[in-house]
Amino acid sequence: MRVPLLDLSQQYRTLAGPIRAQIEEVLASQRFILGPKVEAFEQAICAYCAAPHAIGVSSGTDALLAILMALGIGPGDAVITTAYSFFATAACIARVGATPIFVDIDPGTYNLSPSALEGFLRDECEQKADKIIVRKSDATVRAMVPVHLFGLCCDMDSLHRVSEKYQLDVIEDAAQAIGAEYQFNSQLKQAGTMGECGFFSFYPSKNLGAAGDAGLIMCRDDKLAERLRICRQHGMKPRYHHHFIGGNFRLDEIQAAILNVKLPHLNGWSAARRAAADFYGEEFSRTGLTQKISLPIEPYRERGLNHHHIYHQYVIRSPMRDALREHLTRCEIGTEIYYPIGLHMQECFAYLGYKEGDFPETERAAGDTLALPIYPEISRETQKYVASTTLVEPLEI
């Protein structure tokens, strides 16, 4: 049996009719950019997330870039983020001329470790006037970008305590976590709505995927929202008057139209992903494999949330990861390593001066994690096959 890591074809088959009708409507209207479909989608997300403002943009990457530009973060500033994420998280910080500062992860959740964060601010920074300065570089720490990796929210209560104490803006990278819930200050919140700003990616393989690139920013401050809307159009308002340098970060009508069709199904898909994750857990426990591999942990399961983890990825870890992956590949089971190299070890960030050993938990995760096939429509039969194939060599040795 061939099992892809992700199979979007079944989802498309069930929605092909309404998606095609929506695309036809956009073509008939000849309104392709920032029209009524984008507005409707922004409103739908505001309702879905209980967010005051939503701004559709061209991708998750452009969302973060626009946020940093609108906040006026640039040369002389530093932004703290995790060493274990997709490249874009750190690249955008560098692209606006600020310095990315990496912090290690919590080994259970793979998310930014609040204690490592606090340790950095306490030991390597100091207060100068009303600013927090990195002692070594004199850069001003302006913000943090926690990433809700694999669909599980960071420990936002702890991160919030640190951000309050040091007066940092919180920009949530919720690219992998749309629909994930968290109990924030004992209030039910959606991923992306707990910081000053948060953003989603609708890259086709994300839980809510467009038919191309798309993204969205959420924020709570009215003035910042206005600035972000202007930033999305080259910092322009009114036409041909540019307040500051933004970019072309606009969302296409066709993408918004498709996302409008899909959004009402998102909660169902998240529930199906969680059910599939539960089933993997049962199968791995039943077969005794949990002695040899570690399963994803669910720190918020007991909090009474519906979508405590939306399993963008189902990631296991094993000291025999590479041999296991080779074996699964031979058996035509798709797997992926997210991410094989910590951001601090990427060649393009060599100028930041990090070295191997700086973030032991990130490096360990880069060496022993493996994502298994998961998507809403995956069948129990397919999962049984994946689990039983995982069971046999090389883990037998």
Ligand X SMILES: *Cc1c(COP(=O)(O)O)cnc(C)c1O
60 binds ligand X (CB under 6 A): yes
Nearer to ligand X, 163 or 207 (CB): 207
376 binds ligand X (CB under 6 A): no
Please state, in angstroms and rounded to a whole number, the distance separating the CA atoms of residues 104 and 109: 12
203 binds ligand X (CB under 6 A): yes
201 binds ligand X (CB under 6 A): yes
Nearer to ligand X, 201 or 255 (CB): 201
Please state, in angstroms and rounded to a whole number, the distance separating the CA atoms of residues 246 and 259: 25
Q: How far is CA 387 from the centre of its chain?
A: 26
Least Å distance, CB 59 to ligand X, is 4
88 binds ligand X (CB under 6 A): yes
User: 3-class DSSP state for residue 78?
Assistant: strand
Least Å distance, CB 191 to ligand X, is 11
User: For ligand X, which residue of 34, 70, 154, 175 counts as binding (CB under 6 A)?
Assistant: 175
Distance from the first to the final alpha carbon of the chain: 24
110 binds ligand X (CB under 6 A): no
294-303's contacts with Cβ under 8 Å and 24+ in sequence apart are: 294/318, 296/150, 296/152, 297/108, 297/109, 298/152, 299/108, 299/109, 299/152, 299/155, 300/152, 300/153, 300/181, 300/182, 300/183, 303/183
Nearer to ligand X, 85 or 99 (CB): 85
Least Å distance, CB 213 to ligand X, is 6
Q: Which two tokens stand for residue 291?
A: 């002695």
For residues 246 and 231, is the Cβ–Cβ distance under 8 A? yes
Q: Which stretch binds ligand X (CB under 6 A): 56-64, 100-108, 115-123, 383-391?
A: 56-64
Give the number of other CB atoms < 10 A from CB of residue 72. 11
Nearer to ligand X, 198 or 373 (CB): 198
Q: Which stretch binds ligand X (CB under 6 A): 80-88, 315-323, 359-367, 368-376?
A: 80-88
Q: Considering CB under 6 A, how many residues would be counted as binding ligand X?
A: 15
Q: Which residues would be at the binding site for ligand X (CB under 6 A)?
A: 59-61, 85-86, 88-89, 147, 173, 175-176, 201, 203, 213, 215
